[in-house]
Amino acid sequence: MGGKRVVTPLLRRILDWDVKTTNNVLAAIIKKTGPMRKYSTTLSAVEMSGNGIVWLASCVVIVFMSSDLYTRHLVVNLLIALIADLIVVAVVKATTRRRRPAPLTGDPFAIQKIDQFSFPSGHATRATMVCTLFAIQYDLSMLLEVPLYTWFMSVVASRLLLRRHYILDIVSGIMIGWLTALMLVITGAWISVDSANYLVAYLLDETYTGASYDV
């Protein structure tokens, strides 16, 4: 059951390079900006904005609170995407079982007790997946694109600045999030307005009057 993992010499060199590079990059940033403690409130807020539980809970609340067909359509599809993301990340983390970096000194938000595995970064997969899905499914204006991609870059950067992940965890998370979004679109998992609202109506025992099969 759970025998010791065999790390090949090549993989060990890659992991050692990743640890060294991550430490050097973070040290260079801290040398220019000062300790990350100074930015803990901002970084923690950014981290929370990419939290999977927060996203899931928010989507569920919006489904219950909103009666707008297109809002429900978006949120139902986000729920499907978020669940897919959580499954993919959980499987990869359980397979690789890479330990997280040591937390920053005095970090009150260290999450090792909740999720001790580092590869890939779930925040990076989630932020990438959401941005990719919005870019594919919607013709966004610059007014929406700028804050969306700013949020994405902030979430990704926070993983390094808070020392939650190594660089390869973050880069791999971006790649996995992008591939997950593409697979959701290609496989038709992004469902139509009618299908999404019919699903909500069925689960909430409502009458959906927007579809032809309503009586």
Question: Which amino acids are annotated catalytic?
Answer: 123, 165
**Residue 102 DSSP code:** P
Place of tokens 């090792």: 112
Q: Are 127 and 152 in contact (CB under 8 A)?
A: yes
Q: How many of the other CB atoms lie within 10 Å of CB of 144?
A: 12
The answer for residues whose C-beta is within 8 angstroms of residue 181's C-beta and 6 or more apart is 81, 128, 129, 132, 133, 136
Q: Are 127 and 133 in contact (CB under 8 A)?
A: no
Alpha-carbon span 166 to 62, nearest angstrom: 34
Q: How many of the other CB atoms lie within 10 Å of CB of 55?
A: 19
Can you state the angle between helices 122-137 and 52-65, rounded to 10 degrees? 40
Q: Are 79 and 59 in contact (CB under 8 A)?
A: yes
